[in-house]
Structure 1
Amino acid sequence: MPYLIDGYNLLWSIFKNDEHFEPVDDAGLVSTVSLYCQDMRDYGEVVFDGIGPPNKRPFKQVASVDVVFSGQGIEADDVIEHKIACCRSPKKLCVVSSDRRVRRAAEKAKAQVFRSDEFWAMVLKRLLRKRGPKEPLGKRHGVTDEETLEWLKQFGLD
């Protein structure tokens, strides 16, 4: 399910609500969302207000996430509402914003909606979860010749 994210709304929510997470800037936010989308095998689009920084390279070197700046004099909310309205299958869209206007537009289109703080909690839970122990190398690649000889000796088959 593709994610359509109100960038500065999410960033503000992180600053306001998450004292356990180290401060993050817009590029750090995009990087973290990229990791989440890759882990979910999905993609997203983060929309920021304004024209953005002069150097946009950090926003172009991320996988699974496109970054859009709304432009001068245009609000990100307007861009997000337009994207929701133009979406061919809005029911498959996941909109992330705590802004009432954006949430109403998403709900009207029957898109899934998450408040920014809810979404960020999901992102952190997913990325910080404990993973099981790694598989031993031999499981996929077999044992080495030395290990084979050692086992043959152990069983008296050398």
Structure 2
Amino acid sequence: MALLIDGYNLLHQAGIFGPGRGGASLQRSREALLRFLAASIAPPELPRTTIVFDAAEAPPGLPRTITHTGMTVHYASEYEDADAMIEELIAADHSPRKLLVVSSDHRLQRAARKRRAPFIDSDVWYAQLIRDRERRGKSAEKPSPSKPSGQLSSKEVEYWLEEFQVEEGEKPHKSPDRPAKPPAELPLDNPFPPGYAEDLFDDENGSG
């Protein structure tokens, strides 16, 4: 889902303010907020995230639109305030039902409701974002499953010894589905009955 964030509204709800006073302090606060969002929003969602700030006290010469870690950042320099620009962005969105408006401003929530776009208060969304970030961090810290050691337990050894009918301490000489090959040095039993074909051997000996 695409995100449309009321920058200053979220800034106040999150309590992110840089040290000092005036425009320099406000700029540091904006930068701190953008860094926080870049580190907290899931990477696939960053290109679908838009933040709008008022142009008041914006850095001199700053472009009206910049890109920060894939996110689009607008300074509403040609509008009365950021709310007017956000209202226009909501009205122009082609898929408003897939657009989440992040602002506690009732004016913007009414504009979202008019287009049937979902919206959420900045403080609620901020708390949810913190929880999601912590959950992803914990998931990343989980150790990967260890590889099997290949060692059988005593019960497994007992089972397979019984299955192959092997005495403990003795190694099996054959697999269960293939007969063993007789050792070459052992004589094979005569498969014929006693006296069978002895006359053939006698004739052969006599003729020789």
TM-score (norm 2): 0.55
Unpaired stretches in structure 1, ≥5 consecutive residues: 16-21, 140-158
Label 1:64 to 1:112 Cα distance change in 2 as closer, same or farther (>3 A): farther
Given the alignment of the two structures, is residue 2 of structure 1 paired with residue 5 of structure 2, yes or no? no
* Cα offset, 1:33, TM superposition: 1.5
Residue aligning to 2:75: 69
Higher helix proportion (structure 1 or 2): 1
**% of aligned pairs identical?**
34
What is the aligned length? 130
Which structure's relative contact order is higher, taking Cα pairs within 8 Å and 6+ residues apart?
Answer: 1
Letter in 2 for 1:31: R
Q: 1:102-158 CA deviation, whole Å, 9 max, x = no partner? A: 01000111111010001111111111232242437x97xxxxxxxxxxxxxxxxxxx
C-alpha displacement of 1:31? 1.6
- Which residue of 2 is the match for residue 94 of structure 1? 100
Distance in 1 (alpha carbons) for counterparts of 2:88 and 2:132: 30
Displacement, 1:14? 1.5
- CA gap 1:62/1:134 in 2 versus in 1, 3 angstroms: farther
Please name the residue that 1:83 is paired with: 89
Per-residue displacement from partner, 1:82-102 (whole Å, max 9, x unpaired)?
A: 000000010000000011100
- C-alpha deviation, 1:29, in angstroms: 0.9
**Taking structure 1 as reference, are residues 125 and 60 closer, same or farther at Cα in structure 2, changes over 3 Å only?**
same
Range with bigger deviation, 59-68 or 81-90: 59-68
Shift of 1:74: 2.1
Tell me how large the CA RMSD over aligned residues is.
2.6
Structure 2 runs not aligned, ≥5 long: 19-28, 148-208
State the one-letter code of the partner of 1:11. Answer: L
- Residues 67 and 73, structure 2, Cα contact 8 Å, conserved in 1: no
- Native 8 Å contact 1:33 1:65 kept in 2: no
Aligned counterparts of 2:84 and 2:52: Cα–Cα separation in 1: 10
TM-superposed deviation, 1:12: 1.0
Partner AA of 1:122 in structure 2: Q
Letter in 2 for 1:26: R
Partner of 2:34: 30
